[in-house]
Amino acid sequence: MKPEFTAKQYEEAFQKERAQKYPEIDDFVKEFPIDKNLLESAARVLACPVKKNPPNWQHGRVIYAAVRDYAARTRRTGRPQQFLDIGTAKGFSALCMLWAAKDAQLPVKITSVDVIDPEGIERRNTVAEVTGPVTLHQILDSWPESREIEFKKSTGIDWLEKHPNDRVHFAFVDGKHSYETVKKEANLLTIRQSPGDMIVFDDVQIEGVAQAVGELSRYRVRMLEAKDIRSYAIAERV
């Protein structure tokens, strides 16, 4: 099967985005910055699609800093804490979660869900597939620590409804960007969280996502903008 894009196109997209500056994100992550080389080596493969809108991997920096902040505040019980990544894509956000937890020495169980089967040979718009489509696990071969992440074919809503008694200590929400979906995901997460637990919402510049985030109750919310192209909400349960 002929690749949709060439390695040169992926590299051009990567280099163009790599040169961008994000002062608001810089300020948010200054206490807990992720290693730049680690971030960019993963972003090149896992967060740099070729498409009409430019790629953006600032959510990796936001997730890493938010997990480190959460870990600095949380009481350790010795048992792994449940983290949930809604919208696997190519595993970038879940990997950033894992790196942050490891650096904080916080035991975690990370579950990442997506409607695309991780075992499926699918087009995922990554430089890793210029020689042909591959599975998610093949894309992640360069990061053996990713085997510690549980990748599942599921929506966020289905996973949450099937785990009614599971506390979700930290969640990243980046699945279907409709008001109805994000609202239900937020409601299901709220009843599974305790004070201090966190949700990071991606793509809050989208109207439906912004509306659902705006209706959150029992959360302290901080908004972040990656210029005018992408927004995030960091919500802490109170």
What does the pLDDT read at residue 117? 97
Looking at residue 2, its pLDDT comes to 67
Q: Report yes or no: 128 and 139 within 8 Å, Cβ to Cβ.
A: yes
Instruction: Report all structural domains of the chain as residue ranges with CATH numbers, in order of start.
Output: 7-237 (3.40.50.150)
Residue 191 and residue 164: Cα distance in Å, rounded? 9
- Six-digit token pair at 34? 């992720």
In the chain, the largest separation of any two C-alpha atoms, in whole Å, equals 51
d(CA 43, CA 142): 12
pTM: 0.97
Q: What pLDDT is attached to residue 44?
A: 98
CB atoms within 10 A of CB 181: 19
CB atoms within 10 A of CB 125: 17
pLDDT of residue 112 exceeding 80, the answer is yes
Cα→Cα distances 233→22, 92, 220, Å: 16, 18, 10
Q: What is the pLDDT of residues 56-107, one digit of tens each?
A: 999 999 999 999 999 999 987 889 999 999 999 999 999 999 999 999 999 9
Pairing of strands 198-201, 219-226: unpaired
**pLDDT tens track for 18-40:** 999 999 999 999 999 999 999 99
* Nearest alpha carbon to residue 137 among 127, 149, 125: 149
Spell out where 71-216 has E strands.
Answer: 81-86, 108-114, 150-153, 170-173, 198-201
pLDDT digits (tens, 9 = 90+) for 154-171: 999 999 999 999 999 999
Cα 19 to Cα 203: distance, rounded to the nearest angstrom: 21
